[in-house]
Amino acid sequence: MFKCYVCGREIDFNEVALIKGSEIVVCKKCLPMYYVKNMCRLVNRRLSGEELIACQYCKFKKECDEYISRLKK
């Protein structure tokens, strides 16, 4: 059993979406927001108002849009 770094719940290997190093394990449920907050290099550019072509094809665009709208308020 693994423990999700974000939500803290116990997960099976089938539910693991990301293993980063020996300490960070992220479940499938938490991966989109973890990716947007911690791994995406384009979030800061989007916060400054840039419209990036790469973001149109991103798997987590919906979560990113929500995160950016919350930060801009």
Indicate the number of domains in the chain: 1
Q: Is the pLDDT of residue 27 over 80?
A: yes
Integer Cα distance of 63 and 15 in angstroms: 19
Its domain, for residue 36, covers 2-72
Per-residue model confidence as pLDDT tens digits over 29-72: 999 999 999 999 999 999 999 999 999 999 999 999 999 999 98
For residue 73, the model assigns a pLDDT of: 77
Integer Cα distance of 39 and 72 in angstroms: 19
